[in-house]
A = this chain, B = another copy of it.
Amino acid sequence: MTPPNEVDGPLPTDYEIAQSTEMEPIWELVEPWGLGLDDLQYFGSYTAKVKHDAIDRLREQAEDRPNNLVLVTGMTPTPKGEGKTVTTVGLGQTLNHIGEEAMIAIREPSLGPVFGVKGGAAGGGRSQVLPMEEINLHFTGDLHALTSAHNLIAAMLDAKISQGDELDIDVNDVSWPRAIDMNDRVLRETVVGLGGKTGGTPRENQFLLTAASELMAVLCMASGLGDLKERVARIIVAYDTDGEPITVDDIEATGAVTMLLRDAIKPNVVQTIEGTPAFVHGGPFANIAHGTNSLMADKAAFGMADYLVTEAGFGSDLGAEKFLNIVCRLGEMEPNAVVLVSSVRALKYHGENMWPADYDDIDAAGTGAVERGLENLDKHVENLQKFGVPVVVAVNRFPDDSDEEVNVVLDHCRDELGVAAAESTVFENGSEGGVDLAERVVEAVESGEADYAPLYEDEDSIKEKIHTVATEVYGADGVKYTGGADRDIERMEELGFGDFPVCMSKTFHSLSDDASKKGAPTGWELEIREVYPSAGAGFLVALTGDVLTLPGLPSDPAAAGMDIDADGDISGLF
């Protein structure tokens, strides 16, 4: 969420802007982009899923198109976010405004954060996707389908455990948690199966946010319904008393789980406030999962337009690193440019070494704080350049930012880092506010400078991969393995997962694994405490420090400020 404009009087809320925008029926909107009436499965007039036949056709069409891939990422964010989705939507709109053909692909919001701190997650101001209230609430039901499918696996697994099965499941080695799409801290650690014999077998159980479920990753990595089913079948849910994996297929849940996901696997297409088509599909978090929308959406978009603008969650150390090391590797994509979103506020936040709770005091900080904060920006630029992709820094300008502050950033990027940079006011002005940025992006893409390569090879050992990310991206001196991490890694190698890429689970509040360290921390070691397989998704997950897989509600949750009147008009959803 971006604060209201205090200069020209208050901007209308995101919801008010959305309500005052006349949308085009989605079938009319996408028709010039190559999708016909029968290619869509409708949810009202403004939201549709794209059918499998059409996806296949678009994939073929993509072979004759440029497939220009622009990734939007950000510096280490403040508690309010730096406007990455706003910039993604705004850049997509502006590319079309200046005569290119561009599609947008972003993640689906998760109800948990919507009701927690964050409010809506559909962009904002004059750069949002519509219908924002539906996208932010139940949308096409994908998150609900994933939650149900996740918990069906859990119920079938516990039924096997308590009804005495032939699989010989080790009740102390169950790796499949339960899932909920709600920030509900008391479900993080629970004991289930109480109440006597009919209540099942007592054991510890965790709930995680649906966005952190392996099923979400599986959905985002799958190439179609058949591939989805194969991936679901491979998911490891527990180990037997000999330490051998028990899969979803072993507990006979593959068919029913895939059936529950038969619509969720189809990408959702909607429109931006300026009528640019956007895929909003899949929503893995970037701190605890891989953090980018579905590959199916990306691949379809390449068949519809020359440019695809997509977003990766949090900073270059999280969503972007995973997009570049994992998603592009497994999905066989090559990015042509990366946009790094920064803001004066975020630079001050790093420059002042602030705690999230002090964020409201940020306006008091001066230009000196901006300058001191640049070390965080510099490290993100450096990280992205290591992948061989040209970087364009976007300064997402807020109404209170002074010209002097903005110029500190622009000059630093151009003169000291030698990278392209542009300010962006797409929140307030839509595509009128993104022309300079869009032109820099087109230049970067057309320069042909991109020479993308991931930072490690499949054949590198698991520890080498982790070491590479820790030292090259996070700026750590090295890695220490605690708890059962060494044993986990041995097991992964024994199970034949040694050539998987590694999805790191790390705090988003810092480049390091210590949320309180701002800027670009040096002189520290990354701690890995657990490594487990996402066999369905095709990667390993390495847990660092204390990363919450289920956030809680704050003492004053966003939900408490939300309302709906008897006519159905919503307030408080931003």
Contacts and interface: CB of A to CB of B under 8 A. Distances in A.
Interface string A540-574: 00000000000011110101111111111011110
Nearest to A546: B198
Contacts of A189: 193-195, 199
Given A564-B255, A566-B225, A158 B137 contact: no
A559 B258 contact: no
Interface stretch (A177-185, A337-345, A347-355, A422-430): A177-185
A145 B254 CA distance: 25
Contacts of A200: 185-186, 188, 552
A410 interface: no
A151 interface: yes
B185 A158 contact: yes
Contacts of A20: none
Interface stretch (A42-50, A84-92, A302-310): A42-50
B252 A560 contact: yes
A256 interface: yes
A365 interface: no
Interface string A142-168: 001101100110111011001100000
Nearest to A555: B163
A314 interface: no
Residue from A145, A151, A187, A565 having most chain B Cβ neighbours under 10 A: A187
Contact of A42 (B44, B151, B181): B44
A220 B559 CA distance: 24
A218 interface: no
Contacts of A198: 185, 552
Contact of A152 (B141, B147, B559): B559
Interface stretch (A234-242, A259-267, A373-381, A520-528): A259-267
Interface string A1-32: 00000000000000000000000000000000
12 contacts: A111-B148, A137-B260, A148-B181, A152-B559, A155-B184, A185-B198, A185-B200, A224-B566, A225-B568, A229-B564, A255-B564, A256-B563
